[in-house]
Amino acid sequence: MNIGVLVSGRGSNLAAILKDIERGAISGAEVKIVISNDPSAKALRVAERHGVKALALVQGTSTRQAYGERLSRALVQNGVRPGEGLVLLAGFMKILSRGFVERFAGRILNIHPSILPAFPGVRAQEQAISYGVKVSGCTVHFVVPEVDAGPIVLQRTVPVKDGDDEATLSSRILRQEHIAYPRAVKLFVEGKLKIEGRTVRVGV
């Protein structure tokens, strides 16, 4: 299965997925292209170090719809096709157009640093601390046009400790992200995920 990864930042989740593919923990899959909206994103260097094509695709003055079309063309040109491939959002700080999401429906995964549906959107870790929760974590979910609202694949939790700030909680959650995201990708590639309404059934 051909995979395309959309990134904006340092690429630690990308690295975790690439390492699992390289060591055979995820078989039958290849990351064909990594695309970033930010030419300075460290994730592009991560891709290059692993021998994966890296592309900076800046939105600029394009509308969300037009940018979605450009992303779609770049993915298809590199073998990640609707109905066949898999698109991963790994810290991609852009909201995808409805057209893009519908074109790749059921084939886009995202990881979010909270236990959804709690604390969607940006600065989820800061939201969790401000709210005073005792447990946080991460969620891998399918992407739908509404932000952080798609069917949930899996979740992992961490304690929120006294004295935590955004940085310390983020670090604790990130360690769980590096476990959760590769596992979700493996399940998808192996055909073990089935969406039934809001529920994702995990096969054996």
Per-residue pLDDT tens over the stretch 48-100: 999 999 999 999 988 999 999 999 999 999 999 999 999 999 999 999 999 99
Q: Are residues 123 and 202 in the same domain?
A: yes
Q: Are residues 141 and 89 in the same domain?
A: no
**Residue 112 CB contacts under 8 Å (≥ 6 apart), including other chains:** 120, 124, 138, 139, 141, 148
Global pTM value: 0.96
Choose the final residue of a domain: 105, 131, 159: 105
Strands 30-36 and 108-112: unpaired
- Residue 163 binned pLDDT confidence (cut-offs 50, 70, 90): very high
User: What residues act catalytically?
Assistant: 112
Residue type, 177: E
Q: Are residues 201 and 162 in the same domain?
A: yes
- Reply yes or no on whether the pLDDT at 204 is more than 80: no
d(CA 17, CA 98): 26
Q: Are residues 116 and 88 in the same domain?
A: no
Residue identified by tokens 């899996």 is: 154
Q: Are residues 122 and 63 in the same domain?
A: no
Our count of domains for the chain comes to 2
Q: How many helices (H) and strands (E) does the chain have?
A: 6, 9
- pLDDT, tens only, 115-138: 999 999 999 999 999 999 999 999
Choose the final residue of a domain: 82, 105, 128: 105
User: Cis before residue 117, ω within 30 degrees of 0?
Assistant: yes
Q: Domain of 117: which CATH number?
A: 3.40.50.170
Q: Are residues 93 and 171 in the same domain?
A: no
Q: Work out the angle between the directed axes of helices 166-189 and 12-22 (0-180°, nearest 10).
A: 40
Choose the final residue of a domain: 70, 105, 140: 105
Q: Are residues 17 and 93 in the same domain?
A: yes
- pLDDT, tens only, 169-191: 999 999 999 999 999 999 999 99
Helix (H) or strand (E) holding 59: none
Q: Which domain, by its residues, includes 189?
A: 111-204
Strand order across the beta sheet in which 30-36 lies: 53-56, 30-36, 2-7, 86-90, 108-112, 135-142, 152-159, 199-202, 193-196
pLDDT at 203: 87
Q: Are residues 31 and 119 in the same domain?
A: no
